[in-house]
Amino acid sequence: MATNALNLPENEYLLPGNRACAGCSVGIVFRHLSKALEGKAIFVVPASCFTVLCGMYPTASVTVPVMNSVFPGTAACASGIAASLKKQGREDITVVAMAGDGGTADIGIQGLSGAAERNANVFFVCYDNEAYMNTGTQRSGLTPLGARTSTTPTLGKGQFPKDMPAIVEAHDVPYIATASPGYPGDLYDKVRKARAIFGTRYMHINAPCPAGWQFAPGQTVAMAKSAVETRAFILYEIENGKFRLTGRSLALAGKDKFPGISEFLRHQGRFSKLDEALAAQLQARVEERWRQAVARHIACEQQ
């Protein structure tokens, strides 16, 4: 049975109160991730909003071990810890490298690539808030086209984001998934699955950020859901090369009418200058990526 708010286990590894902004989605992500791992995990974290959320002993807000690593070394540190745990016969502990989009797709990408190529026994989680938020919303390789950031202040970013799960897939790793704090049951179930798999596992999580995207803190979950409803963010998993739409995205595959991308973006201050030309460019990309995802889902089902 799929996990939902009613049958989610009560164990908690996130303590009340932390230094993240009000309404930050990263706490929702960590809460469900750590529940699924039953706290049996060591986290390796580069500088990011998640470092701030975790805090420092003795006022840390999480009850799992966290090692702060240098930016480019996240996956390498995690690989070393995994090797050490193997030596000690403690492979029941999951090593989670958890980084933001900057720490994954830009500054940490070579370490991730090396770990994935070696199939190191590491679970790499990218929470994608779509900019370098911790240092004041600079654009990253995963910032969407047209989003205004402190380094793209007038016209917005001029490029589409990298397709990070596709980059990791090119390394032939055993498990890749996307997830959303708007659908924590789906996230939880995917972490449970990833936990039981040996090798490099990669999860890409859409992480709405009230401060950087400029929306009201109470709208975080609605924003995460809207990303999936408009198909700006697609929920799927790739297990040993087999692609499958999951959760709400699987349900949407049977529909032929969807809210437009501007339904999702018009509530975000970073897109306050969204015009028809930009909306059309973004919509075309959504349609193309959705078409590819549905076609791949059907093709894999028929195999």
Could you say whether residue 49 binds ligand SF4 (CB under 6 A)?
yes
Could you say whether residue 164 binds ligand TPP (CB under 6 A)?
no
Q: What character string, x for contact with ligand TPP (CB under 6 A) and - otherwise, covers 121-140?
A: --------x--xxxx----x
Could you say whether residue 103 binds ligand SF4 (CB under 6 A)?
no
Residue 129 or 249 with smaller CB distance to ligand SF4: 129
Near ligand TPP in 87-116, by CB under 6 A = 99-103, 107
Among 48, 69, 149, 180, binds ligand TPP (CB under 6 A): 48
Could you say whether residue 214 binds ligand TPP (CB under 6 A)?
no
**Concatenated DSSP letters of the chain:** ----TTT------B-S--SSPTT-HHHHHHHHHHHHTTT-EEEEE-SSHHHHHH--TTS-SBSS-EEE--GGGHHHHHHHHHHHHHHTT-TTSEEEEEEEHIIIIITTHHHHHHHHHHT-S-EEEEEE-SSBTTTT-B--TTSPTT--BTTBTTT---SPPP-HHHHHHTTT-SEEEEE-TTSHHHHHHHHHHHHTS-S-EEEEEE---IIIII--GGGHHHHHHHHHHTTSS--EEEETTEEEE-HHHHHHTT-S----HHHHHTT-GGGTT--HHHHHHHHHHHHHHHHHHHHHHHHHHT-
Are the C-beta atoms of residues 57 and 40 closer than 8 Å to each other?
no
Q: Which of ligand SF4, Mg ion, ligand TPP, none binds 20 (CB below 5-8 Å, type-dependent)?
A: ligand SF4
Among 129, 226, 246, 268, binds Mg ion (CB under 5 A): 129
Among 3, 14, 26, 29, binds ligand SF4 (CB under 6 A): 26
Could you say whether residue 261 binds ligand SF4 (CB under 6 A)?
no
Q: Which of ligand TPP, Mg ion, ligand SF4, none binds 24 (CB below 5-8 Å, type-dependent)?
A: ligand SF4
Among 3, 14, 24, 229, binds ligand SF4 (CB under 6 A): 24
Radius of gyration of the chain (CA): 18
| # residues contacting Mg ion (CB under 5 A) | 4
- In whole angstroms, the minimum distance from the beta carbon of 41 to ligand TPP comes to 19
Could you say whether residue 229 binds Mg ion (CB under 5 A)?
no
Among 64, 77, 96, 209, binds ligand SF4 (CB under 6 A): 209
Q: Could you tell me the strand order of the sheet in which 66-68 lies?
A: 66-68, 41-45, 94-100, 123-128, 201-206, 175-179, 236-239, 242-245
User: 124 - beta bridge partners?
Assistant: 97, 202
Span from 149-157, 203-211, 231-239, 280-288 in contact with ligand SF4 (CB under 6 A): 203-211
- In whole angstroms, the minimum distance from the beta carbon of 302 to ligand SF4 comes to 40
Per CB under 5 A, residues contacting Mg ion are 100-101, 129, 133
Per CB under 6 A, residues contacting ligand SF4 are 20-21, 24, 26, 49, 129, 133, 209-212
Per CB under 6 A, residues contacting ligand TPP are 47-50, 71, 99-103, 107, 129, 132-135, 140
